[in-house]
Structure 1
Amino acid sequence: MAGVDLYNANKGLRYGNENFTQDFYDHRWHGQGTSNSYPSVNIGGGQNYYANSWYVESGSYFRIRNIQLGYTMPGDYASKLGIQKVRIYVNAQNPAIFTKYKGFSPEVGGSILNGGGLPGTIGIDNDVYPISAIYNLGVNVTF
């Protein structure tokens, strides 16, 4: 997906005892001359937590959804083992995503009417859980 901007609300919200990201910590304002693009860690103080363009990031990404690599043993070798066919494979679902987005995943979903239980949250990453990667190894044997 390309050409999409997201509002990364995770930059300013902490739901428990989560740490700030390494990127935020490395680039935060912590005294005169330290940063003109990141606020201090006191996001909740003053007007730092108000909606502004600092929270908006490119949501463009490329994801590999499904990839499978397999090998089917030739029939003459399988017949020597007393079987018709043997196939060995590895499968990966969502193994990789390529993005510059700093949140967990640029796939935040939502809708204009109901996104994550909050009205009007389309395009807002507000503690969205990322899609899991699943890996399988298998053998198909036909007798």
Structure 2
Amino acid sequence: MISGELLSYIDNKNQPTCYNYWTVDNPTNDYPRHQFGASVTDAQKESLRYVDGSFFKIKNITLGYTLPNSVLQKMKMSKLRVYATIQNPFIWSKSDVLDKMDPENNASDKFPLYKTIVFGINASF
């Protein structure tokens, strides 16, 4: 179980659209039906912040290829390597409430998990 501060953000004025609230057309159990004008108690907010924090995450993938010497000699090079790296490409969490959040920081960050892609070439002549 994790306790995510962002998961319990709920009030009567600002209703986040990313939350999967219960409605007649959407009978999920992620978040209770919100009622405008009704006060939300601290106990109700606190209970929403606890979710199953089980997850599987791939943090970094790097793929590279170094050209063979027979090709490099024709190009008059001593080394040529092409590579690509991606950070945070995949995260699967048991709770769909954690969608696009990082369970490693208890879903307390106010921003989604960033993905970074880098392409590069290492060349020597």
* TM norm. shorter chain > 0.5: yes
Partner of 1:141: 123
Deviation at 1:29, TM superposition (A): 4.8
Relative to 1, partners in 2 of residues 1:129 and 1:23: Cα closer, same or farther, differing over 3 Å? same
Inter-partner Cα distance in structure 1 for 2:85 and 2:36: 43
Does 2:72 align with 1:72? no
Q: Is the CA contact (8 Å cut-off) linking 1:60 and 1:100 kept in structure 2?
A: yes
Q: Is the CA contact (8 Å cut-off) linking 2:67 and 2:79 kept in structure 1?
A: yes
Q: Is the CA contact (8 Å cut-off) linking 1:12 and 1:49 kept in structure 2?
A: no
Instruction: Judging by fraction of residues, say which structure has more helix.
Output: 2
| TM-score normalised over the length of structure 1 | 0.64
Q: Is the CA contact (8 Å cut-off) linking 1:61 and 1:97 kept in structure 2?
A: yes
| TM-score normalised over the length of structure 2 | 0.71
Of the three residues 82, 97, 104, the one matched with 1:107 is 104
Relative to 1, partners in 2 of residues 1:80 and 1:90: Cα closer, same or farther, differing over 3 Å? same
Inter-partner Cα distance in structure 2 for 1:133 and 1:37: 26
Inter-partner Cα distance in structure 2 for 1:81 and 1:36: 62
Q: How many residues align?
A: 118
Does 2:82 align with 1:85? no
Deviation at 1:88, TM superposition (A): 0.7
Q: Which runs of 5+ in 2 are unaligned?
A: none
Q: Is the CA contact (8 Å cut-off) linking 1:29 and 1:36 kept in structure 2?
A: no
Q: Which runs of 5+ in 1 are unaligned?
A: 109-122
Percent of residue pairs bearing the same amino acid type: 28
